[in-house]
Amino acid sequence: MTFCHRHVLGAFVLLFCLTAPVSAQEVSLGPSSSTPSEEIEVTPIPAGATIAPVEEQAVRTSGRAQTFATRILEMANSLSYFAIPFALATLLAIWFTVERVVVLRRGRVVPRPFVLRFLKLLDEGELDRDEALQICEENGSPVAMVFAHGVRKWGKSSVEVEQAMIDGGERQVSSLRKHLRVINGVASISPLLGLLGTVWGMLESFDKIAQAGAMGNTQELASGIALALVTTAAGLIIAIPCLVVYMYLSGRVDALVMEMDDLAMKVVHNISAEGIAEKNSRPRRGKEKDTSEPSQKKAV
């Protein structure tokens, strides 16, 4: 028993000796394994690392906008005394463009309710010369004025009525095209002003070269070259939109004139001598009923 107890005691001692280093190692490794996590928690991630690119992009965008605005102001300043004619040309183009867009509205030139009502009354024979002329003068639209010229020749031959409406139509067309020449003039003169500024700027540059020998000094030549280039650009910037507007408004006038011509031909057919004779030769529905009733009575 004593021997067995000794062996058992020795076995426990041996097991304790074998397990003791492992626990010590675990105890010693505990703090070391926690140190990296503590270091990560202690050292925070800088906020500028993620926000810096966004701030930098915003700064670049605002810088570009400021640079663009500054360049526009510099270009305007470099126009010098040429800024006055360019400003006047721009104001004229804007003013007359808005005015022509308002005047050339279809509802103003060819009012549809008036045209439909007038043609219907003429076709049904419910208007005479004085009433038709009064209606046209009260309306006062360009197409009504064209109709009025034809109504004054009421009962004449179709050639006379048509010629009267053509004469009245030419007057109305000239009034519709009244201010389009101004827009076309701005579109034609603006590039010429730009070309003049180009020549003037180059003359200034060569004059400085001749007087001060500024061939190697770019600052002395910058003002003349800037004037030469900026005036050309300003002339084209004004001329291109004016030319587009002029073509658009001219097309609108042509469309309105074609529509007025078609309507005038309908009026000629109703008020000319040939049209009135043809209208009178048609049997009316009321007369047909009146003539048919006696025949039926006689048959009965």
Give the separation between CA 100 and CA 178, rounded to whole angstroms.
9
Q: Please state, rounded to an integer, the average pLDDT across all residues of the chain.
A: 74
- Identify the pLDDT of residue 221: 67
Q: Which helix (DSSP H) or strand (DSSP E) does residue 227 occupy?
A: helix 218-271
- Identify the pLDDT of residue 110: 92
Tokens 């020749």 correspond to: 153
| Residue 152 reports pLDDT greater than 60 | yes
Q: Which helix (DSSP H) or strand (DSSP E) does residue 107 occupy?
A: helix 106-109
CA 76 to chain centre: 24
* CA-closest candidate to residue 114, choices 139, 151, 97: 139
The arithmetic mean of pLDDT across residues 173-199, rounded, is 91
| Residue 249 reports pLDDT greater than 90 | yes
- Identify the pLDDT of residue 253: 94
Report the range of poorest mean pLDDT among 130-139, 241-250, 252-261, 287-296. Answer: 287-296
Confidence at 274, pLDDT banded by 50, 70, 90: confident
With pLDDT > 90 as the criterion, what percentage of the chain qualifies? 28
Q: 14 lies in a domain?
A: no
The two structure tokens encoding residue 236: 């084209």
- Identify the pLDDT of residue 284: 57
Q: 276 lies in a domain?
A: yes
Dihedral (C-alpha) 136, 137, 143, 145: value to the nearest 10 degrees? 120
- Identify the pLDDT of residue 68: 43
* CA-closest candidate to residue 104, choices 244, 256, 241, 243: 256
| Residue 100 reports pLDDT greater than 90 | yes
Q: What residue numbers bound the domain in which 130 lies?
A: 81-282
| Residue 220 reports pLDDT greater than 70 | no
The two structure tokens encoding residue 2: 């004593």
**Per-residue pLDDT tens digits for 107-151:** 999 999 999 999 998 888 888 888 888 999 899 899 999 999 989
Give the separation between CA 51 and CA 67, rounded to whole angstroms.
24
Confidence at 34, pLDDT banded by 50, 70, 90: very low
| Residue 246 reports pLDDT greater than 90 | yes
* Count of other CB atoms within 10 angstroms of residue 116: 10
Contact 267, 226 (CB under 8 A): no
| Residue 286 reports pLDDT greater than 70 | no
Give the separation between CA 279 and CA 62, rounded to whole angstroms.
77
Q: 38 lies in a domain?
A: no
Q: CA angle 287-291-293, nearest 5°? A: 120
Query: Who contacts 205 (Cβ-Cβ below 8 Å, separation ≥6)?
Result: 221, 224, 225, 228
Contact 260, 165 (CB under 8 A): no
**Per-residue pLDDT tens digits for 51-91:** 445 445 544 545 454 554 456 666 666 667 788 889 999 99
Q: 297 lies in a domain?
A: no
Q: 248 lies in a domain?
A: yes
What is the number of domains present in the chain? 1
pTM of the model as a whole = 0.65
| Residue 261 reports pLDDT greater than 60 | yes
**Residue count (the chain):** 300
Q: 159 lies in a domain?
A: yes
| Residue 195 reports pLDDT greater than 50 | yes
Q: 201 lies in a domain?
A: yes
Q: 214 lies in a domain?
A: yes
With pLDDT > 70 as the criterion, what percentage of the chain qualifies? 63
